[in-house]
Structure 1
Amino acid sequence: MYASRPSAVRRPPYAVHTGTCAAALLLLTACGNTSDTAATKSAAVRATASASAGVAGPPAERARRRAAPGPYAPVVRPREIPALGPKTRAAIPADAKQVFVITGDAYDSSLSTAVLYARDNPALGWLPVTTRWPAHNGLNGWTDEHLEGDLRSPVGVYGLTHAGGLFDPPETAFPYDRNPMFSVSGEGFDGEPLEGSFDYVVAIDYNRTPGVTPLDGARPLGQERGGGIWIHVDHGGPTQGCVSLPLDRMRELLSTLDPAKKPVVVMGDAEALER
């Protein structure tokens, strides 16, 4: 006899259904969590990358970046007159737009040079309007306190307000006194003739009344402080205290000086002017 086989054990249908649904539910839940985590991580990576790369954020941030200044631009300052120190520059009147700078070679030297500067555009500052001219000054050089007969030229900043001479001036707006009293004769310190020295002169407002003829003899500081300090035609040697220029340069100076620009002269040895 054949032994009978035991019948197969079957699980109720609901057991299989329940396990399948649970597995499916678990799978769906896991997929949902994975998707949310990946999206969050992706957004964080993008934000970090944007911040690291300097990418503009909100509109306000983008506007701020557009308004940021461009490349550095150096500040251009108005030009100053070279070789003048702070004390000398401070003595130049604020309304002066022409400055005639006479620079002595040394304290005891009678040799100097001269340049005319103008300040027509405040943004540009002082610019030379002439070349450097040769000049003579007092026989004994320069002094901070000029005295009658010391044969030195006074150091300082002085107005230029009137001119004159033996001859008619070149075309000029500067006040000019043509007068035969500008005649001169005799010899200079080196034996050179003085004739013609006062053909053209510009008075330096040292110990004199500004705005009057160079022939005026008033001495507001007293006679002992000297006076009659002029810019005049060079006679080829040292002066008694004046400054002298070649004839053509005197004519050029007279034709360039403009009373509307309130011209002044800055004069002295190089070391004094650097103060």
Structure 2
Amino acid sequence: MTRRPRLCAALAVAAAAVTAFGLLGASGPASAQVVAPTAVPLPADIGQLPSTVKQLVTVEGGYTSTYATVTAWARVNGSWVVRMRTTGRVGYSGLSDMGVGIRRQSDGTTPTGLYKIGYGFGTGSNPGTSMWWRRFDRNDYWSFDARDPKTYNVFQTQRPATAYWRAYSPYSEHLYDLASEYQYAFLINFNLPKSKPYQRADGQWVTSSPANTARGGGIFLHVNGSGATAGCVSVPRDRMLWLTRWFGPAYQPHIAIGTTSLIRSL
């Protein structure tokens, strides 16, 4: 049986905090929709969030569903306030738990759990985020070829002739082939290398402490495509742009992906 994380205690949400959060610099564009606080579920791992985390995206769905409710939360004076809510998409095979490591590369599932939001990337220049932003081009790939562990789940700015990883699915993604979905995207820090990648003389980005080559990589938060994802979380384009401008490094944004069995109501 798959091990489930413990349930967290309920969090109090005060309606007055909506107004208070409007005073914070990272509250997002002035025109952004503020959703009235309601009794909605939060994943169990929320109890693990330190008080320094002020921004949270929750992704709530069923194990076999390819749809999820995506909610952006802000922590104000110790309370969580809903800032935006939309319907998003997850993997074409639904969700998978990480408790016993059942998530595998190319299985089409989105991994449940609590993760940091990493840097942003897209087809254009910085669209207004204070997070670190990378503009990609036709030369760029995301590699997850198990036969080349040092480059596994690492952004590649080129594929030199000496590269051992394969430049086609399911061993890598040519980012420009998904330019519409990756117009605005953020890395979800799932199964990343244990040490910081560095660029070798041949141009490849490698790490001395690779990620788990069985778990898969390239798990992003990005713009909706035509249907379910291959393991990422996606939302409508306007909502993704809102999130892009809302995220701020000072607020340590995280994302929590959970199922009905992992949550309890506020």
Same fold, judged at TM 0.5 (above): yes
Counterpart AA for 2:56: V
Residue 184 of structure 2: aligned partner: 200
User: Structure 1 unaligned runs (5+)?
Assistant: 1-76, 186-193
Distance 2:179 2:123 in 1: 11
User: 1:108-142 CA distances to partner (integer Å, 9 max, x unpaired)?
Assistant: 011112111001322xx000111x21110000100
Count of paired positions:
185
Secondary structure of the 1:223 match is coil
CA distance in 1, matches of 2:213, 2:51: 30
Tell me the amino acid that sits aligned with residue 133 of structure 2.
Y
Map 1:186-225; keep pairs closer than 5 Å.
Answer: 194-209=178-193, 220-225=210-215
Partner SS, residue 240 of structure 1:
coil
2:68 alignment partner, one of 112, 136, 160: 112
What is the alpha-carbon distance in structure 2 between the residues aligned to residue 216 and residue 117 of structure 1? 34
Alignment of 1:68-79 (within 5 A): 78-79=12-13
Question: Pick from 117, 124, 133: which aligns with 2:86?
Answer: 133
Task: Report what 2:32 is aligned to.
Answer: none
Residues 112 and 211 of structure 1, relative CA distance in 2, 3 Å threshold: farther
**Is it true that 1:258 corresponds to 2:242 in the alignment?**
no
- Counterparts in 2 of 1:216 and 1:89: CA distance versus 1, 3 Å: farther
CA-to-partner distance for each residue in 1:64-83, whole Å, 9 max, x for gaps? xxxxxxxxxxxxx8429841
Closer, same or farther: CA 256–217 of 1 in aligned 2, 3 Å? farther
Instruction: Report the TM-score when normalising by structure 1.
Output: 0.60
Listed as ranges, the matches of 1:1-275 within 5 Å are 78-79=12-13, 82-84=40-42, 87-104=44-61, 106-122=62-78, 125-130=79-84, 132-145=85-98, 146-180=103-137, 181=140, 183-185=175-177, 194-209=178-193, 220-274=210-264
Distance in 2 of aligned mates of 1:238 and 1:258:
27
TM-score in terms of structure 2 length: 0.62
AA partner of residue 215 (structure 2): R
User: Secondary structure of 2:240's partner?
Assistant: helix
Larger strand share, 1 or 2: 2
Change (3 A) 1:91 1:147: farther
**Bigger RCO (CA 8 Å, 6+ sep):** 2
Higher CA-based Rg: 1
| CA apart distance, 1:163 | 0.8
Residue ranges of structure 2 left out of the alignment (5+ in a row): 1-10, 15-38, 141-173, 198-203
Structure with the bigger percentage of helix? 1
User: What is the CA–CA distance in structure 2 between the aligned matches of 1:227 and 1:174, rounded to whole Å?
Assistant: 21
Cα distance 1:79–1:261, how it changes in 2: closer, same or farther (>3 A)? same
Change (3 A) 1:217 1:97: farther
CA 1:228–1:138 in 2, change beyond 3 Å: closer, same or farther?
same
Q: Distance in 1 between matches of 2:108 and 2:71?
A: 23
State the superposition RMSD in angstroms.
2.8
